[in-house]
Amino acid sequence: MTPPSLAPTAAGFGLPDYVTRRPSGFYRSLNPATKLAVAALEVVAAFTISGWLGPALVLATLAATAAGSRTLRGLMVVGLAALPLVVSIMVVNLFLLPGASDPIAHVGPLAPTWSGLRFGLLTAARLLAFSSAVALAYLTTPVDDLLADMSRRGLGRRGVFVVGAAVQMVPRTIERVGEIMDAQRARGMDTEGRIWRRARGVVPLAAPVVFGALAEVEERTMALESRAFTAPGRQTLLRTPPDRTIDSVLRWLALAGVLAIVALRLTGRIG
Amino acid sequence: MTSPDSAAPAPSIEFASVSFAYPDGTRALTDVELRIQPGESLAIVGQNGSGKSTLVRHINGLLRPATGRVLIDGRDIRQTHVARLAGLVGLAFQNPDRQLFAGSASAEVAFGPRNLGLRGSALEARVREALEDVGLGEETATNPYDLGYSRRKLLALASVLAMRTPILILDEPTTGQDARGVARVRGVVARAAGEGRTLIAISHDMRFVAESFRRVVVMRAGRVVLDGAPDAVFAETAWGALRAAYLEPPLPAVAGARLGLGATPTDGEFVAALEVATPPRTQNR
């Protein structure tokens, strides 16, 4: 029996575009595991190299990589999203750093300190480096590529599902909230008026988000089951992201880098 | 803008050279020129991504044009809050699950008119009437999530009907409905049109469009490419433009053209044309 042929939508392969597409640019075209390894190296460097050198080096590298892969704007959004946490870190350290005794000024009973300011800024820079490193890998990697690569490397189906659901949860929820807000505003809910009027909109916004998410979980579970999700045997992957020699080299270099930084730190050569 | 208790006359709507692009750069509307007269019933059709939903979301201020103006009764609505426009423009969204939140059907339907200031027995009457209009009169105390999808969709429609806005916009109202549900929607459309409200529907259901609306606007890639009465838009001469927009004319229009009966976009027009063209058979027994 002749198998059904696929429409020749991608030149030469007879496969749909989403199967054969290749990401453009050096960083984007790296294997997802390579990007995660590089991100791990950056995080370790930011937190382990003492003083400003670690976070400054990592943030500069991230900015250059983001500019090269055209994700600088996305990375800035991530930075803005981390702003409340950064502010709280600054406030807590500025006023409450234990043992700090070099006040900048006295504001009533409070005395912000220079040590607190320095420590707060350093911690905030490290946090920013951490979130930006992870975000850059996320922003430059299609979710299906990440999951396909995890499957190829032997992560079980349930593991892949859990990772996929977690990674997709944030953008899906943002999209859902946007639509729900539009629907409720169209029914006269005030999201632009006084704060107490806006507060009344919490339930009309939150309830469809929660109910919708629960209904989606049930539907998704049934859809997966109906497509043999729990069937025994090895899965056939429609597409796997490329894993070239340069990926292997970069991963080994990242591992070596992590080990070197940790060793230098333990021997006291970097702080 | 209008009291929810009053049956305000429908205003005119005008898109004056409206263009819009989403933040990711997707250009959704390009120089749209469209004037909708008070009380018109109009269907907007086009392939997915052609700009239909983007267009109607400009009417109640959910989206604002990048360039051009949207005028309601001659007034630019750029500065008008959505909550204020909600008294004038009712928009029933395609997916009911993106709006239902209350513990009962009646509370859900009461949400909109209450936001517009309606209270007490007037509100109760409005809710009851809207639920009956969509065939859910017996379900006032039912939790919306205990209703099936098609009935949840009718409930979402009722929740907008209850606001009794002079402009009513329905986004894919017949999707997911069985024949009885489609008949309900048709009834709602006919009643709203009969009351002189301006009615705008987005639909992929060409039969519903041809049967229920007096004007059809075809969109493609953010532009209006056809605009006219159903018999003109679904006439054989327009099929090329329709197919370019990935649309098929309704079956009676195709059958009428094949049989040389002229433009017959609805079942009724097709049958009438067929009866005129075919002499009645005499029984010779």
Q: Do A168 and A196 reside in the same domain of the chain?
A: yes
| pLDDT in the model for residue A106 | 85
C-alpha A171/C-alpha A1 separation (Å) is: 43
The minimum CA-CA distance between B147 and chain A, rounded to whole Å, is: 13
| Whether the predicted pLDDT of A13 surpasses 60 | no
Q: Read off the pLDDT band of A194 (50, 70, 90).
A: confident
CB contact under 8 A, A189 and B83: yes
CB contact under 8 A, A179 and B116: no
Mean pLDDT of A138-166: 86
| pLDDT in the model for residue A5 | 41
Residue A173, domain member (yes or no) = yes
Residue A164, domain member (yes or no) = yes
| pLDDT in the model for residue A22 | 67
C-alpha A261/C-alpha A49 separation (Å) is: 7
Q: Read off the pLDDT band of A3 (50, 70, 90).
A: very low
**Other Cβ atoms within 10 Å of A178 Cβ, number:** 11
Residue A65, domain member (yes or no) = yes
- The DSSP bridge partners found for residue B75 are B72
For B86, nearest residue in chain A (alpha carbons): A188
The minimum CA-CA distance between A200 and chain B, rounded to whole Å, is: 11
Q: Read off the pLDDT band of A17 (50, 70, 90).
A: low
Q: Do A132 and A35 reside in the same domain of the chain?
A: yes
Mean pLDDT of B254-273: 92
CB contact under 8 A, A187 and B81: no
CB contact under 8 A, A186 and B86: yes
CB contact under 8 A, A182 and B160: no
- Transcribe B178-234 into DSSP letters: -HHHHHHHHHHHHHHHHTT-EEEEE-S-HHHHHHH-SEEEEEETTEEEEEE-HHHHT
- Determine contact: A189 vs chain B, CB below 8 A: yes
- Determine contact: A172 vs chain B, CB below 8 A: no
Q: Do A123 and A210 reside in the same domain of the chain?
A: no
**How many CB pairs (< 8 A) connect A and B?**
76
Residue type, A194: R
Q: Do A113 and A130 reside in the same domain of the chain?
A: yes
The rounded radius of gyration (Å) of the Cα atoms in chain B is 20
Give the helix/strand (H/E) hosting B27.
strand B27-36
For chain B, positions 224-263, list CB contacts with chain A under 8 A.
none
- Determine contact: A182 vs chain B, CB below 8 A: yes
| pLDDT in the model for residue A1 | 40
Q: Do A136 and A155 reside in the same domain of the chain?
A: no
Q: Do A155 and A86 reside in the same domain of the chain?
A: no
Q: Do A137 and A154 reside in the same domain of the chain?
A: no
Q: Which of A121, A141, A161 corresponds to the end of one domain?
A: A141
| Whether the predicted pLDDT of A4 surpasses 60 | no
- Determine contact: B57 vs chain A, CB below 8 A: yes
Q: Read off the pLDDT band of B281 (50, 70, 90).
A: low
The CB-based long-range contact list for B24-31 (8 Å cut-off, 24+ gap) reads: B27/B222, B28/B54, B28/B222, B29/B54, B29/B55, B29/B58, B29/B65, B29/B222, B29/B223, B30/B221, B30/B222, B30/B223, B31/B68, B31/B223
Residue A49's nearest CA partner among A114, A116, A126, A111 is A126
CB contact under 8 A, A204 and B101: yes
Cα B88–Cα B90–Cα B91 angle in degrees, nearest 5: 140
Q: Which of A118, A141, A164 corresponds to the end of one domain?
A: A141
Mean pLDDT of B138-144: 94
Residue A54, domain member (yes or no) = yes
For A181, nearest residue in chain B (alpha carbons): B99
CB contact under 8 A, A211 and B89: no
- Determine contact: B116 vs chain A, CB below 8 A: yes
C-alpha A258/C-alpha A252 separation (Å) is: 10
Residue A259, domain member (yes or no) = no
CA B253 to chain centre: 21
Render pLDDT for B95-126 as a digit per residue (tens, 0 to 9): 998 889 999 999 999 999 999 999 999 999 99
According to DSSP, residue A170 is labeled H
| Whether the predicted pLDDT of B189 surpasses 70 | yes
CB contact under 8 A, A187 and B93: no
What phi and psi values does residue B67 have, to the nearest 5 degrees? -135, 160
- Determine contact: B59 vs chain A, CB below 8 A: no
Mean pLDDT of B205-214: 95
| Whether the predicted pLDDT of B1 surpasses 60 | no
CB contact under 8 A, B83 and A185: yes
Choose from B98, B114, B155 for mutation: most chain A CBs within 10 A: B98
CB contact under 8 A, B81 and A193: yes
Per the structure block, which two tokens stand in for A116? 């607190």
| Whether the predicted pLDDT of A9 surpasses 60 | no
Q: Read off the pLDDT band of B3 (50, 70, 90).
A: very low
| Residue A200 belongs to domain spanning | 142-232
Domain tally, chain A? 2
Residue A58, domain member (yes or no) = yes
| pLDDT in the model for residue B2 | 39
Choose from A181, A187, A191, A219 for mutation: most chain B CBs within 10 A: A187
Hey, which bits of chain A come out as E strands?
none
The minimum CA-CA distance between B62 and chain A, rounded to whole Å, is: 7
- Determine contact: B100 vs chain A, CB below 8 A: yes
Q: Do A124 and A32 reside in the same domain of the chain?
A: yes
- Determine contact: B83 vs chain A, CB below 8 A: yes
Sign of CA dihedral A259, A260, A261, A266: positive
pTM of the predicted protein model: 0.75
Q: Read off the pLDDT band of A8 (50, 70, 90).
A: very low
For B111, the closest of A187, A193, A215 (CB atoms) is A187
Do A79 and A85 touch, CB atoms closer than 8 A?
Answer: no
Q: Do A44 and A119 reside in the same domain of the chain?
A: yes
Do A90 and A116 touch, CB atoms closer than 8 A?
Answer: no
C-alpha A206/C-alpha B26 separation (Å) is: 29
- Determine contact: A239 vs chain B, CB below 8 A: no
Mean pLDDT of B162-182: 94
What phi and psi values does residue B206 have, to the nearest 5 degrees? -65, -30
String of b and e for B82-112 (b: at least 16 CB within 10 Å)?
Answer: bbbbbbbbbbbbbbbbbbbbbeebbbbbbbb
CA B27 to chain centre: 23
Render pLDDT for A24-79 as a digit per residue (tens, 0 to 9): 789 999 999 999 999 999 999 999 998 899 999 999 999 999 999 888 988 998 88
Residue A106, domain member (yes or no) = yes
Cα-Cα end-to-end distance for chain B: 70
**Other Cβ atoms within 10 Å of B49 Cβ, number:** 14
Render pLDDT for B237-249 as a digit per residue (tens, 0 to 9): 999 999 999 999 9
CB contact under 8 A, A188 and B91: no
Q: Do A192 and A176 reside in the same domain of the chain?
A: yes
Average pLDDT, chain B: 92
CB contact under 8 A, A192 and B116: no
| pLDDT in the model for residue A115 | 93
Average pLDDT, chain A: 85
Render pLDDT for B34-77 as a digit per residue (tens, 0 to 9): 999 999 999 999 999 999 999 999 999 999 999 999 999 999 99
CB contact under 8 A, B99 and A215: no
Q: Do A182 and A84 reside in the same domain of the chain?
A: no
3-class secondary structure, B122:
helix
| Whether the predicted pLDDT of A163 surpasses 60 | yes
Q: Do A99 and A153 reside in the same domain of the chain?
A: no
Q: Which of A91, A123, A141 corresponds to the end of one domain?
A: A141
Residue B99's nearest CA partner among A9, A105, A189, A153 is A189
Contacts of B112 in chain A (CB under 8 A): 187-188
| pLDDT in the model for residue B137 | 94
C-alpha A42/C-alpha A44 separation (Å) is: 5
Residue A71, domain member (yes or no) = yes
Do B215 and B29 touch, CB atoms closer than 8 A?
Answer: no
- Determine contact: B53 vs chain A, CB below 8 A: no
